Amino acid sequence: MNPVNTSLKSEISPSLDWGKIRADFPILQLKIDGKPLIYLDNAASSQMPQQVIDRLVRYQTTQHANINRAVHYLSEVATMEYHNARCKLQQFINAREDREVIFTSGTTDSINLVMHGYGRKFIKAGDEIILTTLEHHSNIVPWQMLAQEKGAKIRVVPINDKGELEVDEYEKLFNERTKFVGLIHVSNALGTINPIKHMIDFAHRHGVPVLIDGAQAAPHITIDVQALDCDFYAFSAHKLCGPTGVGILYGKAALLEAMQPFKGGGDMIASVTFEETIYNTIPHKFEAGTPPIAAAIGFGAAIEYLMDIGIEHIAAYESSLLAYATECLSEMPGVKIIGTAAEKTAVISFTIDGVHPHDIGTILNQDGIAVRTGHHCAQPIMQRFNVPATSRASFAFYNKRTEVDALVTGIKTVQKIFL
């Protein structure tokens, strides 16, 4: 059995009834072609518990109006609930102030905000931006666009054969031209948990700000942005049992204030004449137009749901599921696990000898098993491991051991068909 991750080592809480928690998720009752749904695509999007669905219904049936705009009752309620959601997010990541939490449409939007708001203002020709091989395309492409526009350069931190960042190489990339670091906290394709605290501290010793893509970390690891001292942290609600269409960008207040707005429009201004516009204060400066109010409130409810269970309990439960799944899959002949970092979240990317991942996905689907197949928006990782694509099973706290067993049986079926 793989050693249990040190960072996820807290005991599985005996007081939590995981079966009861699972029952909170109505979609898990679905049958696919008569077979029970086995949902192992949580890294792409996780499912929503009834509590969050109910919260959305309550908002939509009793609280909905536009925010920040009118004095009538509903507008005030909606404005307050939207603000409460922001405060829940603030608490979730332990931000100093609620104005450091900006609602965006998701991680991709958050990263683009930093690229436009910070990058376009402060990064110049000849400057260097450090990214890693593990980045999701959403933390590569915006920086490439900026580099192209400014004549800046992108430097990439390599990974080893286990899928871990080579931190020595990271440190060697720094020089007087280094102006920004974009770093994924947890790899969506491999599950690798990166030593971001150390990497942030190192960057800060060179006076370089760091953006953390936390899309895959926030659902599984307790985030404390003050302890991490990161400059920016981004994630999406839909990977945290919340709705699609919303996410956050955390940014240190001083940085957000120094940045230029990303989008122009209503709500992000203090006053407008055709000669001059004075921008609103943060966070409003970065929330142009009507935000996803309902989704943000649902996001707040999802955060409340997860904090009630406790991210540390979720991490411990998932860690034991990962250990079990890793043990089962590594014993299967012809199955190769890609990404064997010592520190991992509950993600297993794998290949089966002689079978293309898309065929694996289609055949598993026939048993009701949902996995992701493809390059996982992380083509540099696929190139590093010299595979066109992988299949990925990603687990959540509502998955159970018998679902791992079903995956094993499904893989055997694939192997039988392609014998």
Partner 1 sequence: MHTNSLYQEVILDHNRKPRNYGKLDHANHHAVGHNPLCGDRLDISLQLDNDQINNIAFQGESCAICKASASMMTTAVKGKSRADAETLIHEFRELATGKLDINQPNHLGRLTVFSGIRDLPTRVKCAILPWHTLHAALNSLTSASTEADDSVQSASNHS
Ligand X SMILES: Cc1ncc(COP(=O)(O)O)c(C=O)c1O
Residue range at the interface with partner 1 (CB under 8 A); choices 121-129, 183-191, 208-216, 363-371 = 363-371
Rule CB under 6 A: say whether 128 interacts with ligand X: no
* DSSP per-residue letters across 142-207: HHHHHHHHHT-EEEEE-B-TTS-B-HHHHHHT--TTEEEEEEESB-TTT-BBP-HHHHHHHHHHTT
**Contact, 114 vs 249, CB < 8 A?**
yes
The binder of partner 1 chosen from 56, 366, 385, 408 (CB under 8 A): 366
CA distance 230 to 219: 18
Out of 363, 371, 381, 396, name the contact with partner 1 by CB under 8 A.
363
**Contact mark string toward ligand X, 215..234, x via CB under 6 A:** xx------------------
Give the shortest CB-348-to-partner 1 separation in angstroms.
Answer: 20
Among 148, 260, 362, 409, binds partner 1 (CB under 8 A): 362
Q: Which lies closer to ligand X via its Cβ, residue 194 or residue 415?
A: 194
What does the radius of gyration of the chain's CA atoms come to, in whole angstroms? 22
Helix (H) or strand (E) holding 226: helix 225-228
In the complex, the smallest distance separating the C-beta of residue 415 from partner 1, rounded to whole angstroms, is 12
Site string for partner 1, 21-50 (x = CB under 8 A): ------------x-----------------
Count other Cβ atoms within 10 Å, centred on residue 30: 12
Choice from 108, 326, 345, 391 touching ligand X (CB under 6 A): 108
Is 377 considered catalytic here? yes
Choose from partner 1, ligand X, none: what does 363 bind? Cβ within 5-8 Å by kind.
partner 1
For 65, other C-beta atoms within 10 Å of its C-beta total: 15
Q: Provide, rounded to whole angstroms, the least separation between the CB of residue 332 and partner 1.
A: 20
Q: Please list every residue from 67 through 86 that binds partner 1, using CB under 8 A.
A: none
Comparing CB distances to partner 1, the nearer of 71 and 419 is 419
Q: Is residue 323 part of the contact set for ligand X (CB under 6 A)?
A: no
Of 246, 258, 253, nearest in space to 232 by CA: 253
Beta strands 38-39 and 101-104, pairing class: unpaired
Stretch that binds ligand X, among 106-114, 257-265, 312-320, 392-400 (CB under 6 A): 106-114
Which pair of structure tokens corresponds to residue 238?
């839909």
Residue closer to ligand X (CB basis): 291 or 410: 291
Q: Give least dist CB 64 to partner 1, A.
A: 34
Among residues 36 and 195, whose Cβ is nearest to ligand X?
195
How is residue 16 written in tokens?
Answer: 């939590």
Which among 168, 109, 164 has a CA at the least distance from the CA of 138? 109
Show the tokens assigned to 34.
Answer: 């008569």
Q: Tokens 């449409």, residue?
A: 105
5 forms part of the interface with ligand X (CB under 6 A) = no
Interaction of residue 107 with ligand X, rule CB under 6 A: yes
Contacts (CB under 8 A) with partner 1, residues 338-357: 355-357
Site residue total, partner 1 (CB under 8 A):
19
Q: How far is the CB of 351 from partner 1 (least distance, A)?
A: 13
Segment 182-201, which members bind ligand X (CB under 6 A)? 184, 188
Residues forming a β-bridge with 126: none
Residues carrying an active site annotation: 377
List interacting residues with partner 1 (CB under 8 A): 33, 355-359, 362-363, 365-366, 373-375, 379, 382, 388-389, 417-418
List interacting residues with ligand X (CB under 6 A): 106-108, 136, 138, 184, 188, 213, 215-216, 236, 247, 377
